[in-house]
Chains A and B, each alone.
Chain A
Amino acid sequence: MRMRYLVALVAFALACGFALSSCQPKEEVPEGPITIEIWHAMTGKNGEMVQALADQYNASQAKYVVTPVYKGSYSDTMNAGIAAFRADQAPHVIQVYEVGTATMMSAKGAIKPVHELMKEFGHKFDPKIYIPTITSYYSTSKGEMLSLPFNSSTAVMYYNKDAFRAAGLDPERPPETWPEFFDVAKKLKASGMEGGFTTNWISWIQLENFSAWHNQPFGTKSNGFDGLDTELVFNSPLTIKHFQTIAELAKDKVFIYGGRENKANPLFTSGQVGMHFESIGGYGNMKANCKFEFGVARLPYYPDAPGAPQNTIIGGASLWVFSGKANYEYRGIAEFFSFLSLPESQAQWHQNTGYLPITVAAYELTKSQGFYDANPGPEVAIKQLLNKAPTPNSMGIRFGNFNIIREIEDQTWEDILAGKIGIEAGLAKMVAEGNQKLREFEQLAQ
Chain B
Amino acid sequence: MTGQYEFKSKWLPYLLVTPQMVIVFLFFFWPAAQAIWQSFFLQDPFGGRLIFVGLGNYSRLFTDPLYAYGDSFVVSVAFAACVTLVSMVLALFLATQANKKLRLGSFYKTMLIWPYAVATMVAGVLWLFMFNPNVGVIAWFLKHKLGVEWQHLLNSGQAFLLITIAASWKQISYNFVFFLAGLQSVPKDLVEAAAIDGAGPAKRFWRIIFPLLSPTTFYLLVMNLVYGFFETFPIVHQVTGGGPGKSTSILVYKVWRDGVINLDLGGSSAQSVILMVMVIGLTILQFRFVERRVNY
Say if the beta carbon of B214 comes within 8 Å of chain A. Answer: no
* Majority secondary structure of chain A interface residues (helix, strand, loop or mixed): helix
* A140–B12 alpha-carbon span in the complex (Å): 64
Q: Which of A31-39, A59-67, A266-274, A381-389 contacts B (4 or more CB under 8 A)?
A: A266-274
B153 touches A85 (CB 8 A): no
Enumerate chain A residues within 8 angstroms of B135, measured Cβ to Cβ. Answer: 266, 270
B37 touches A414 (CB 8 A): no
B47 touches A86 (CB 8 A): yes
Enumerate chain B residues within 8 angstroms of A266, measured Cβ to Cβ. Answer: 132, 134-135
With A75-B261, A414-B153, A443-B51 as given contacts, are A85 and B46 in contact (CB-CB < 8 Å)? yes
Say if the beta carbon of A17 comes within 8 Å of chain B. Answer: yes
Say if the beta carbon of B155 comes within 8 Å of chain A. Answer: yes
Enumerate chain B residues within 8 angstroms of A414, measured Cβ to Cβ. Answer: 153-154, 243-245
Enumerate chain A residues within 8 angstroms of B258, measured Cβ to Cβ. Answer: 404
Number of interface residues of A (CB under 8 A): 47
Enumerate chain B residues within 8 angstroms of A75, measured Cβ to Cβ. Answer: 260-261
With A86-B46, A106-B44 as given contacts, are A260 and B154 in contact (CB-CB < 8 Å)? no
Say if the beta carbon of A401 comes within 8 Å of chain B. Answer: yes
> What 0/1 readout, one digit per residue, does chain B (62-77) give for beta carbons within 8 Å of chain A?
0010100000000000
Say if the beta carbon of A110 comes within 8 Å of chain B. Answer: yes
Number of interface residues of B (CB under 8 A): 36
Q: Which of A180-188, A307-315, A405-413 contacts B (4 or more CB under 8 A)?
A: A405-413
A412 touches B245 (CB 8 A): yes
With A103-B263, A266-B135, A415-B244 as given contacts, are A445 and B154 in contact (CB-CB < 8 Å)? no
* A401–B243 alpha-carbon span in the complex (Å): 20
A436 touches B66 (CB 8 A): yes
Say if the beta carbon of A113 comes within 8 Å of chain B. Answer: no
Say if the beta carbon of A109 comes within 8 Å of chain B. Answer: yes
A411 touches B243 (CB 8 A): yes
> What 0/1 readout, one digit per residue, does chain A (149-177) give for beta carbons within 8 Å of chain B?
00000000000000000000000000000
A258 touches B153 (CB 8 A): yes
A444 touches B51 (CB 8 A): yes
Say if the beta carbon of A420 comes within 8 Å of chain B. Answer: yes
B260 touches A433 (CB 8 A): no
Among B163-218, those with CB < 8 Å from A are: none
Task: Name the distance in Å between A261's Cβ and chain B's nearest Cβ.
Answer: 8
* A408–B264 alpha-carbon span in the complex (Å): 15
Say if the beta carbon of B97 comes within 8 Å of chain A. Answer: no
Contact of A443 among B33, B42, B132, B242 (CB under 8 A): B42
A-B contact pairs, 14 of them (CB 8 A): A17-B47, A103-B45, A106-B44, A107-B45, A107-B48, A110-B46, A260-B241, A403-B262, A403-B263, A404-B264, A411-B244, A418-B154, A443-B42, A443-B51
Show the binding face of A for B, using Cβ within 8 Å: 3, 6-7, 10, 14, 17, 75, 79, 82, 85-86, 103, 106-110, 194, 256-260, 266-267, 270, 272, 401, 403-404, 407-408, 410-412, 414-415, 417-418, 420, 433, 436-437, 440, 443-445
Show the binding face of B for A, using Cβ within 8 Å: 29, 33-34, 37, 42-49, 51, 64, 66, 132, 134-135, 151, 153-156, 241-246, 257-258, 260-264
What 17 new A-B contacts, CB under 8 Å, besides A79-B263, A259-B153, A401-B263?
A10-B37, A17-B47, A85-B46, A108-B48, A257-B151, A257-B154, A266-B132, A270-B135, A403-B263, A404-B264, A412-B245, A414-B243, A414-B244, A415-B244, A417-B154, A418-B154, A433-B66
